[in-house]
Amino acid sequence: MLFGEQSKMENGFLNLLKPTGMTSFDVIRFLRRQLPFGKFGHSGTLDLAASGVLVIACGAATKILPFLSSEKCYVFSVIFGLETETGDLWGRIMKHKEMKVSRSQIENLLPQMIGQIELPVPLFSAKHWHGQRMYQWAIQNQTLNYQPKQAIQVYELTLLDLNSGPPTTARLRMRCSHGTYVRAMAQRIGSLLQGSACAGFLIRTQSGSFALSQSQPLSEIALGLAKWIDVKEALTHLPCVVLPDRWLRNFVNGQPVTWPETRANLVSVTDRGGQFLGMGRIYESLLKAERLYR
């Protein structure tokens, strides 16, 4: 749907191509100027130096953000022998020592990085810690007695190519859970290879069902060509149930309705006409509203 075809689009998603040099909040501020209606939210922060898929919710669609698929895909480079303050090329260089790494060394290491792992949260990040964001502690040169860690799930980590440099640089593709700091992954790879490393370029190629090939540059939004994505399209990773008319009133009033399934399941719910009603949860032959869409 083109924004020009409808004078006011208050509920839905945008699949945006975030450029480098803008924060995720910069993008939302841009949208508030271009599309002055409703509220906005996003499904996962991208670093200032990163580009790629940034999913934006508008209006009532912000209620559905927690139910989107949390799986992300990235293509990124790891620069060996370089340690920076921020874990990427945008930070102050702390150490620079040439480091030779072979393809076989990386390929033998990567299986250790797949599965559930724990990575330290970068000091220069937006994560809240003791009342402040981490980067605020770092800017104030405050020493943290403990650097928080984050448990993540890495489903796939593949070496795409290796450039002997100097510096030696690897390009990798990763499929992982929400909350993965790619900079921390690059640093861990360098450390496990008995050296140091930081992240170079970083692009998010997938966020749930939103792919880079369908993402829009901000220039199109400025021209009034926003392509809105219906909430149902964003929930294709979940089962959908169609509610009979006789149970509509109960469901939208938050009352459980009898349902012929016993298996616990999170589902999206529509009426017989296909109108999205909200999120529901099936448990012991009952369907209960989890989050109503209104």
- In tens, the pLDDT along 245-268 reads 999 999 999 899 988 877 778 999
Q: Which of the four pLDDT bands, split at 50, 70 and 90, describes residue 271?
A: very high
**Residue tagged active-site, from 47, 88, 230, 245:** 47
Question: What is the rounded CA–CA span in Å between residue 164 and residue 180?
Answer: 27
Q: Which of the four pLDDT bands, split at 50, 70 and 90, describes residue 48?
A: confident
Is 161 considered catalytic here? no
Has residue 269 got a pLDDT over 90? yes
Q: How does DSSP assign 6-63, residue by residue?
A: -S---SEEEEEEEPTT--HHHHHHHHHHHS-SS-EEESS---TT-EEEEEEEEGGGGG
Q: How does DSSP assign 219-269, residue by residue?
A: HHHHTT--B-B-GGGGGTTS-EEE--GGGHHHHHTT--EE-S--S-EEEEE
- Identify the residue whose tokens are 């000091």: 123
- Domains along the chain with CATH numbers: 3-69+208-233 (3.30.2350.10), 72-204 (3.30.2350.10), 238-292 (2.30.130.10)
Q: What is the CB neighbour count within 10 angstroms for residue 163? A: 12
